[in-house]
Homo-oligomer: A and B are copies of this chain.
Amino acid sequence: MSVRDQLIEAAARLYAEAGYRGATTRRIAVEAGVNEITLFRHFGSKDALIREAISRAETSLAPDVLLPESPREPFRELRDWARAHLADLRGRRSLIRTCMGEIEEHPGIFSAENSPLAAAAKALCRYLRQLRANGLAKAPFDEVAASTMLMGVLFADAMGRDIMPDMYRNDPEHALDQYVKLFLRGIGVGVRRSS
């Protein structure tokens, strides 16, 4: 791995742990195993390095599991998608929490528009529309609010499970199962009784 990549990775790690102010150029250099001057030679300033590190960490998402174009088994499809999305959020939770905490002080340091989150929301929205069009979702619902709802649940679980253990005592997989079941019943999709 090149010196440049080592610096970017160290910067992302330290930023997620300690925030913008806490990720000092000295600490980043030590963490990356290079000289502090090299950092400035490559990126010019701390700000440029941090921005590159965050924007790279944010777009390195690989959407392994995609929602199908035409729904066949809503529960299985949505649960698998939700599981993948949740795992992704959980893997980035430190970085996401830090970004959220500092967004007012450093606006524009993470992209908001065209983020993987927004893309996921759009995909989910389209899937829900398909569900209704195919007659699988029989209840009246606003698909924008509905997709926001499901994504919100997953987001809150991913962010809160480790830092609010008294609120998330149950098994993660069981919780996921329940989220999807409750959600599907909410939009009028029949779910086989099993829990």
Residue ranges of A at the interface with B (Cβ–Cβ < 8 Å): 17-19, 21-22, 94, 97-105, 112-113, 115, 117-118, 121, 139-142, 144-146, 148-149, 151-157, 159-160, 163-170, 174-175, 178-179, 181-188, 193, 195
Q: Is the interface of A mostly helix, strand, loop or mixed?
A: helix
**A169: chain B residues within 8 A (beta carbon):** 144
A140 CB → nearest B CB, Å:
6
Chain B hits for A121, CB < 8 A: 167
Closest B residue by C-beta to A142: B178
Enumerate chain B residues within 8 angstroms of A160, measured Cβ to Cβ.
Answer: 152, 155
Taking A139-B185, A175-B145, A186-B185 as contacts, is the C-beta distance between A101 and B104 under 8 angstroms? no
Residue on B nearest A18 in the bound complex, by CB: B105
Query: Which residues of the other chain, B, contact A148 by a CB distance below 8 angstroms?
Result: 153, 156-157, 167-168, 170, 175
Give the contacting residue for A101; candidates B101, B139, B141, B149; CB below 8 A.
B101
| CA–CA, A160 and B148, complex, Å | 10
Chain B residues contacting A186 (CB-CB under 8 Å) are 181-186
Taken together as a complex, chains A and B put the C-alpha atoms of A148 and B154 apart, in Å, by 10
Q: Give A188 to B18 CA distance when docked, in angstroms.
A: 45
- Indicate whether A19 sits within 8 Å of B21 (C-beta atoms), given known contacts A156-B155, A170-B144: yes
- List, sorted by A's number, 17 A–B pairs whose CB atoms are closer than 8 Å: A97-B104, A100-B100, A100-B101, A103-B163, A140-B195, A144-B170, A145-B174, A145-B179, A146-B178, A148-B157, A149-B178, A151-B156, A152-B156, A152-B160, A182-B183, A185-B187, A185-B188
Say yes or no: B100 contacts A142, CB within 8 Å.
no
